[in-house]
A and B are shown apart, each in its own frame.
Chain A
Amino acid sequence: NAGVTQTPKFRVLKTGQSMTLLCAQDMNHEYMYWYRQDPGMGLRLIHYSVGEGTTAKGEVPDGYNVSRLKKQNFLLGLESAAPSQTSVYFCASSYVRLAGLLSYEQYFGPGTRLTVT
């Protein structure tokens, strides 16, 4: 099992450029998430998905779009990059939480370091 993988590992963009970050998981998890990590702020949720074909906004969704066309993949897009989007991006996945059952932990990818100049 590779777990959660992210592509690319590093990227430098100029303001206004676009790009897509790819997340893939081989654990058959229903839920997938995109976070950004900034110094002193922990992780903040950008978007998440509770299943193939569904997405929802998290805490900081502005400037990002996502798609979940296949269960194992979750894509994060930046249509017009801004310096404020310089960050480390983490993808995570988890099992579905059935009603009345306990929350499950999330499994994280290694991260993508994005710099926007």
Chain B
Amino acid sequence: GDSVTQMEGPVTLSEEACLTINCTYTATGYPSLFWYVQYPGEGLQLLLKATKADDKGSNKGFEATYRKETTSFHLEKGSVQVSDSAVYFCALSDDNNDMRFGAGTRLTVKP
């Protein structure tokens, strides 16, 4: 079945460092891809999404590009802030009844 594999954490960075969290997927069709963020004590919030190959999703300085040839959707940010500390989940949906999530990557940004 469809699945998502994302980089294990935790990831600890200093403020203003560059961030990359790797995500690869396996799917039989042409899924939509998502990054969700979970701040401490809260539910998941959509960070960005891409619905077809070569689409780039972006939000709050984060970006991810839907790469069909490498089945990847890596999350990137050029300069992280302390407020970016959270758990990040990569997910795919080939059918809206069936969203598959990665295990999550915890990011801690230190001042």
Contacts of B102 in A (CB 8 A): 42
Query: Is B18's beta carbon under 8 Å from chain A?
Result: no
Q: Which of B1-50 contact A (CB under 8 A)?
A: 4, 31-32, 34, 36, 41-46, 49
Contacts of B41 in A (CB 8 A): 110
Known: A4-B43, A108-B43, A108-B45. A103 touches B94 (CB 8 A): yes
Contacts of B89 in A (CB 8 A): 42-43
Query: Is A34's beta carbon under 8 Å from chain B?
Result: no
Q: Of the candidates A41, A50, A97, A110, which one forms a contact with B43 in the assembled complex, judged by CB atoms under 8 Å apart?
A: A110
Contacts of B83 in A (CB 8 A): none
Give A35 Cβ to nearest chain B Cβ, in Å: 8
Known: A4-B43, A90-B44. A103 touches B101 (CB 8 A): no
Interface residues on A, range: 20 to 34
B51 touches A103 (CB 8 A): yes
Query: Is A100's beta carbon under 8 Å from chain B?
Result: no
Query: Which residue of chain B has its CB nearest to the CB of A113?
Result: B41
Give B66 Cβ to nearest chain A Cβ, in Å: 12
B42 touches A94 (CB 8 A): no
Q: Which of A79-117 contact B (CB under 8 A)?
A: 90, 92, 94-97, 102-111
Q: Of the candidates A31, A40, A105, A109, which one forms a contact with B34 in the assembled complex, judged by CB atoms under 8 Å apart?
A: A105
Give Cα A104 to B94, complex, Å.
Answer: 10
Query: Is A56's beta carbon under 8 Å from chain B?
Result: yes
Q: Of the candidates A42, A95, A111, which one forms a contact with B101 in the assembled complex, judged by CB atoms under 8 Å apart?
A: A42
Query: Is B95's beta carbon under 8 Å from chain A?
Result: yes
Query: Is A45's beta carbon under 8 Å from chain B?
Result: yes
* Chain A 7-45: CB-based contact to B (< 8 A → 1; otherwise 0): 000000000000000000000000101000000111101
Query: Is B70's beta carbon under 8 Å from chain A?
Result: no
Give B90 Cβ to nearest chain A Cβ, in Å: 9
Contacts of B51 in A (CB 8 A): 102-103
A97 touches B96 (CB 8 A): yes
Query: Is B69's beta carbon under 8 Å from chain A?
Result: no
